[in-house]
Amino acid sequence: MTAMQTVAVVTGAARGFGREIARRLVARGHRVVITDLDASAVDTAAAELGATGIVADARLAADHDRVAAEAAGLGTVGVWVNNAGVLRAGKVWEQDAADIALMVDANLNGVIHGSRAAIGVLRGRGGHLLNIASMSAHGPVPGLAVYAATKSAVLNFSVSLQGDLDLEGIPVRVHALCPDAADTTMVRAEQGSSDTAILHSQKALLTPDAVADAAVAMLDGDRLVRSLPAYRAALARTGAVLPRVGLPVLARMRAQGERRRVAGS
């Protein structure tokens, strides 16, 4: 799509994937609005990128509505990226209830509320809604069960949402990107936990640049779901379709990842 100074919104964009996605959207000529909870980080990122920064909590429907209204005040909104999310590693029976609620609220409810707000400003002229899911959306991820559950829900929600939009004739195209583990602050913050071992089972973590490139490229077409890298998605789906086969494989991958995690800590 041609930017033509259309407005693009990126949530959770003070750092990581969101910041790099916003950077590319600015380069494409969009007027970009970034959101995050950390006011100082929002100001810094907005100044660096040449974007408009808004402090907002992705967990709150009212904040998404406020962002949508402010974005629409800047021009025609053509792109909305639900990127905000959190990761807390751990076995569910050991995790704090607050951490579980945080992941569900930020990763899933944030995408649902963000999508509702996005459709409100996109539906008139059409546009693109991009939800950042995860490779963990495709199958079981021991050590990250709650996180994986939220991302699986994001993927299913995104595909179902596209079906609803198509049935209603609303010209909004939904995209869901499912990247593997990447070298971000969010992942590094949890690297000390052995429950993140499977994240390190690939030879190298993805870079935020690679994920951002893939994300923005999706806006040029109609592709609904993309996994990065694709071969890892096939492995992940095995665990979901054939758990008796997949779970032992995941255990071996986890052991391999643990060696790499410890070496990189």
Where are the strands (E) in 56-102, listed by range?
77-82
Cα(39)–Cα(14) distance, integer angstroms: 9
Cα(113)–Cα(99) distance, integer angstroms: 20
**Closest among 186, 183, 180 to 151, alpha carbons compared:** 180
**Closest among 151, 154, 104, 106 to 129, alpha carbons compared:** 154
Please indicate whether residue 147 is annotated as part of the active site.
yes
Packing angle, helices 230-241 and 243-264, rounded to 10: 130
Burial code of 39-48, b = ≥16 C-beta within 10 A, e = fewer? eebbeebbee
CA 56 and chain centroid, separation: 16
CA 20 and chain centroid, separation: 12
Instruction: Kindly name the residue from 7, 45, 121, 147 that is annotated as catalytic.
Output: 147
Packing angle, helices 110-122 and 61-72, rounded to 10: 30
> Which residues partner with 82 through β-bridges?
131
* Active site members: 147
